[in-house]
Amino acid sequence: MLGLSLGEKLRNWFVEEEPVANAPSPQRGTASDADIERMKALERRLKTLLAQPQLLSAGRIHMLNLDTLRASLGSAWDDLRDRIHSSAERIINRHIADKDVQFRSSDGEYIIVFATMSRPAASLVCAKIAEELYRLFLGDPKLADITVSTAVGVVDGKLMFEHASVADLLSAFEKTVEVDGSAKRAAGSAASTATPAPSVAAGAEEQRKLKLSQLEMAQIGTMYRPLWDIGRQVISTYMCTPVRRFPDGTSVEGMLALSAISEPQQLAKVDIETLADTVEILDELFRNKFRLMVSVPVSFETLAARRTRQDYLAICQSVPDYLRPFLVFEFLRFPAGVPNGRMSELVNEVRPFCRWTFLRVECRQQSFASLSGTGLTGLTTMIASDRGTEARIMEDMNSFVAAAERANLKTCIVGITSTSLAVAARAAGATLIAGDRIGRAGEIPQHMLRFGWQDLFLREAVR
């Protein structure tokens, strides 16, 4: 052992006048030099944070306990323990900032120290972490039974916690957003009758609206939509799509989910985390004999800027060779009219790490000749889901597929919400289609599935 556990040291640091300096030395042969150095580095970071007395009073030290998950899984816990801890660390690290610290203090117990976040914000982040982890392994957990604990003081040398359910924390946040939203609407109404502010001030206010807070960023996640290969009659590819959830229970996905992000660094963070999470999930599925392809989105801004492109490619380079044939990149937010040479350059940056590359475009675009020879595999488009305009949508699909075929590109049409649209997409010659009619988005991609037209009609019959 490396002396006292980090959990014990954390508790000791609150009641000792001096940091633990005389802890027993680690026994030889019990840990590698790399492990020892990693633990020491983590301890140094913790000591730096805990030197600030306001951390405890501000409620920035939280604990996540997985006892409820362990009880729900029963005997399966032992088989899944390593995967659960791996997923927990991945999810936690995705939600916390660089200056925050997290560690596992025991089997199924994690402590998170937030460097600057307020107690309500930190509690909400912990609630989102717990919700995501429990949904990953239980599907639809009872959020009222899952708790987040906040350190509130020390009694007799022991760190004391207050407990709140994930359901209550998420509900409180939703109510706060609703109240804030009502206040902002009222303020906006009053402002509309007042004297207009100078344009400079208005511009600054608009920038503040566009920059998402850490809480709002926490509402952006990912889901996986099944893609139906019409010609091969199989669902073998899942589209990883960004999803932004709102307090009223609604959500938007794809480019709409990213439209509120104006900060390039925030956008790159979403892209990098999405790729890293997806590859980890794909690797887990691959090791469990699942065979499927996964499409991962990446935005133009991330690839266009040198710094963020290097960060993104660093993750790409870590993708194991055996997974690369199962990976597809989908380019989002590319402006119309990107020069052929520039497009080729960006496509070729990621081609060594995947099987296919698709570009998201508008359905009504009539010509893709400029994309020929860029290395792109195909085009993706999103159609509206209004049943009243299906006739026009079908015409748009015909034109879209025909224009793509002239440029020797495959096509993927997303937003298929009815059998008639699925039939029309087949008639137009689409390669892949997706939408609620084919299958709803889920937390984790599934195994390859044979899926014919009879299956589609049978699925409609039982709806």
Identify the pLDDT of residue 337: 78
Q: Give the pLDDT confidence score for residue 98 in this predicted structure.
A: 74
CATH class, 6-169 region: alpha beta
Topology of domain 219-461, CATH: TIM Barrel (3.20.20)
The pLDDT value given to residue 326: 95
CB 26 within 8 A of CB 3: yes
* Spans of the chain, pLDDT less than 70: 1-59, 153-159, 174-219, 247-249, 385-387, 459-463
209 Cβ contact list (under 8 Å, min separation 6): none
Task: Tell me phi and psi for residue 303, to 5 degrees.
Answer: -85, -25
Q: What is the pLDDT of residue 181?
A: 46
pLDDT for the residue numbered 38: 62
What is the Cβ-side half-sphere exposure of residue 184, based on CA atoms within 13 angstroms?
Answer: 8
Strand residue runs (E) in 120-261: 147-155, 158-165, 220-229, 234-245, 251-253
- Report domain extents, the chain: 6-169, 219-461
Both tokens of 78, joined, read 């032992």
Separation of alpha carbons 228 and 368, rounded Å: 23
Q: How far apart are the first and last CA of the chain?
A: 57
> Is 290 in contact with 447 (CB distance < 8 Å)?
yes
What pLDDT sits at residue 329? Answer: 97
Tokens matching residue 395: 């015409």
Nearby residues of 258 by Cβ (< 8 Å), 6 or more positions away:
220, 242, 244, 267, 270, 299, 332, 333
